[in-house]
């Protein structure tokens, strides 16, 4: 059966072909989906080969927003024995649960700009490409990855997720990814992964430099340690910290780090052993260390051209969340004369009772707020002049989601406290941000002027929607 050029879109769902039959798609069938089907499909004009489908295999192409000629390609749950060569109209490629058998490989087309791979095993040829705008790689927690990148390619945005079991593989892949601009590591605990707490300790033992640390966590297995999450979850994040910091240490001490403009860590704590390498990163403009766990030594090592610093994200997953800094350490930030955006946790203000550590260059301040301490600290009267103030709380800001007045918010005492050290009249923007609402506030009257409901605003603010603020001021 042949689909002719009359059909731009084709969907084949829950179809079982006879043993001697085949469906052939032509080049004009630009957008197609094959799922829950079995049989032989000739996709030569799309992926360069004929594939025999089983019921769990899926392939789908879709239009790319803003483009008439380019499309996205998603391949899922496949074991392939032959070379797959994508035709040159795929801008986005996603490979999920794909295994290349024998010596087969996937050859990316030169128009590909975005590559997402999850639980992939095999070879990917990138020699046709000059640059990938985005590469995202999520590793399996069940087994060690086996990914071979053939050739080298410039990567603007590189994100690794759950690298615990794939430290050596990531290091190998980094030799193929060159001129990296933005680097992100992300860790996310998977509750049904099947890995025990003991398994995470054994994984940590294999990470160079963390053999002794693994012994400490081994003793933790038999101790009583009341915590908001399971031992499995705690040890996953500790192992993730070890893996990411080992890889990051390797990157920061090579020439590869010279092009990096942004480092972002999500649910990962930057190790103090990597602080010293930051100072030499002259091109680094954005540093998001992903947790409020840091020591005062960090502020001696901030790079000279840093424009955005995030030390706010609270993490419940770290066994020891104690910070180690004093006001003198924090005031070393004032030497960061290019810093425009600072994101901190409210605890830092409660502990120091001042914002005197704020560099005069900072124009945007975002504070993550959870709750007021039992004893409200007395703020020291030193006025900071900033343009934008954002207070974020994941559902902790309002008595109810449709609260419309300041005095009914849980953050009202905190705002009063901030008014003693921030000149509110100089603010151009003031807003509360939570997971379900963004509320704009008149800084002079503290009246709510505009609210947006109905979507997640949890990650709104610098680093995300307002990240451009650091480049417009």
pLDDT at 194 over 80: no
- Checking if the pLDDT of 459 tops 50, the result is no
Q: What is the structure's pLDDT at 247?
A: 95
| Cα 127 to the center of its chain, rounded Å | 27
Q: Please give the pLDDT value at position 145.
A: 84
Neighbouring C-beta atoms of residue 457, cutoff 10 Å: 21
pLDDT at 158: 98
What is the three-class DSSP state of 424?
A: helix
Does 32 have pLDDT greater than 70? yes
Judged against a pLDDT cut of 80, whether residue 243 lies above it is answered with: yes
Q: Token match 């449709």: residue?
A: 402
Give the integer Cα–Cα distance in Å for 8 and 69. Answer: 12
Whole-number Å distance between alpha carbons of 348 and 354:
9
Q: Pick the residue with more confidence: 2 or 172?
A: 172
Written as six digits, the tokens of 193 are 């992964």
Given the DSSP bridges, would you call strands 39-42 and 50-53 parallel, antiparallel or unpaired? antiparallel
CB-facing half-sphere around the CA of 93: CA atoms within 13 A: 28
pLDDT at 435 over 80: no
Predicted pLDDT at 229:
56
Q: Contact at 8 Å (CB) between 331 and 355?
A: no
d(Cα 129, Cα 382) in Å, to the nearest integer? Answer: 54
Q: Look at residue 33 and tell me whether its pLDDT is greater than 90.
A: yes
Phi, psi of 308 (to 5 degrees): -140, 130
- 225 has pLDDT over 80: no
pLDDT confidence of residue 52: 95
Query: Residue 147: beta bridge partners?
Result: 122
Residue 418 has pLDDT above 80, yes or no: yes
pTM: 0.89
- Asked if the model's pLDDT at residue 453 lies above 80, the reply is no
CA atoms within 13 A on the CB side of 376: 10
Task: Decide if pLDDT at 469 tops 80.
Answer: no
């Amino acid at each position: 059966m042949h689909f002719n050029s009359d059909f731009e879109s084709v969907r084949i769902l829950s179809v079982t072909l006879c043993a001697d039959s085949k469906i052939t798609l032509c080049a004009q069938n630009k957008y197609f989906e094959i799922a829950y089907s079995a049989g032989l499909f000739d996709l030569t004009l799309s992926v360069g080969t004929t594939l025999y489908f089983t019921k769990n295999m899926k392939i789908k192409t879709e239009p790319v927003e803003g483009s008439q000629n380019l499309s996205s390609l998603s391949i899922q749950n496949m074991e392939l024995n032959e070379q797959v060569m994508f035709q040159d109209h795929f801008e986005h490629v996603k490979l999920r649960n794909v295994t290349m058998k024998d010596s087969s490989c996937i050859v990316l087309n030169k128009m590909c700009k975005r590559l997402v791979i999850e639980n992939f095993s095999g070879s990917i040829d990138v020699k046709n490409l000059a640059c990938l705008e985005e590469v995202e790689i999520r590793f399996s927690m069940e087994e060690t990855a086996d990914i071979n990148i053939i050739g080298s390619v410039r990567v603007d945005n590189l994100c690794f997720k759950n690298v615990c079991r794939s430290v050596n593989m990531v290091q190998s892949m980094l030799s193929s990814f060159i001129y990296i601009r933005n680097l992100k590591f992300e860790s996310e605990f998977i509750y049904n992964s099947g890995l025990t707490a003991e398994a995470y300790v054994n994984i940590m033992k294999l990470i160079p430099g963390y053999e002794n640390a693994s012994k400490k966590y081994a003793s933790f297995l038999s101790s009583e340690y009341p915590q908001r999450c399971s031992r499995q979850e705690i040890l996953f994040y500790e192992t993730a910290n070890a893996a990411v910091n080992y890889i990051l240490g390797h990157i920061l001490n090579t020439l590869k780090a010279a092009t990096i403009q942004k480092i972002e860590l999500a649910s990962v704590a930057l190790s103090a052993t990597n602080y010293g390498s930051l100072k030499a990163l002259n091109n680094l403009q954005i540093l998001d260390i992903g947790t409020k766990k840091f020591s005062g030594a960090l502020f001696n090592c901030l790079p000279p051209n840093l424009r955005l610093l995030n030390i706010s994200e609270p993490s419940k997953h770290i066994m020891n969340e104690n910070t180690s800094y004093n006001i003198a350490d924090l005031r070393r930030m004032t030497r960061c004369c290019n810093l425009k955006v600072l994101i901190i946790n409210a605890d830092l203000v409660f502990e120091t009772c001042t914002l005197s550590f704020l560099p005069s260059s900072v124009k945007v301040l975002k504070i993550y707020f959870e709750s007021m301490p039992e004893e409200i600290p007395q703020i020291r009267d030193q006025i900071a002049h900033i343009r934008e103030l954002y207070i974020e709380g994941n559902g902790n800001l309002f008595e109810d989601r449709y609260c419309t007045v300041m005095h009914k918010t849980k953050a009202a005492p905190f705002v009063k406290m901030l008014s003693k050290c921030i000149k509110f009249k100089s603010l151009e923007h003031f807003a509360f941000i939570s997971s379900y609402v963004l509320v704009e506030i008149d800084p002079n009257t503290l009246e709510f002027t505009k609210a947006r409901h109905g979507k997640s605003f949890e990650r709104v603010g610098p680093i995300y929607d307002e990240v451009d603020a650091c480049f417009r001021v």
